[in-house]
């Protein structure tokens, strides 16, 4: 997995919403733990058209969605590591 780190400010620190700043196009390779969890905010919708929040998917589903060019590829993610490996991936919902 390659990660392009960004700087962000959440709504409570930015007037009017989110601020995301990418100061570099540098990517950092990271290993993924085989038991890593993936939590999505906009992966799928229910009948009324609303997103299913905090939906757990497999790492394979995430990779397939990225490879298919899904909109979620442009979403920011929180990446948690332990002992140099990714253990959690959480999509940040951006309105």
Which residue has tokens 């009948």? 47
What is the value of pTM for the model shown?
0.78
Please list the rounded mean pLDDT of every run of 10 residues in the chain (95 residues). 64 61 78 94 90 94 90 88 93 85
Helices and strands counted in the chain (H then E) = 1, 8
Q: Which residues of 81-93 are buried (b: 16+ CB within 10 A; e: fewer)?
A: eeeeebeebbbee
């Amino acid at each position: 997995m390659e990660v392009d780190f960004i700087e962000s400010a959440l709504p409570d620190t930015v007037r009017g919403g989110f601020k995301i700043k990418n100061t570099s196009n540098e990517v950092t390779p990271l290993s993924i733990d085989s038991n890593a969890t993936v939590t999505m905010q906009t992966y799928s919708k229910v009948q009324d058209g609303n997103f299913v929040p905090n939906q757990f998917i497999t790492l394979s589903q995430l990779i397939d969605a990225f490879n298919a060019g899904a909109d979620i590829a442009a979403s920011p993610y929180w990446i948690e590591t332990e002992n140099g490996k990714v253990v959690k991936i959480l999509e940040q919902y951006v309105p």
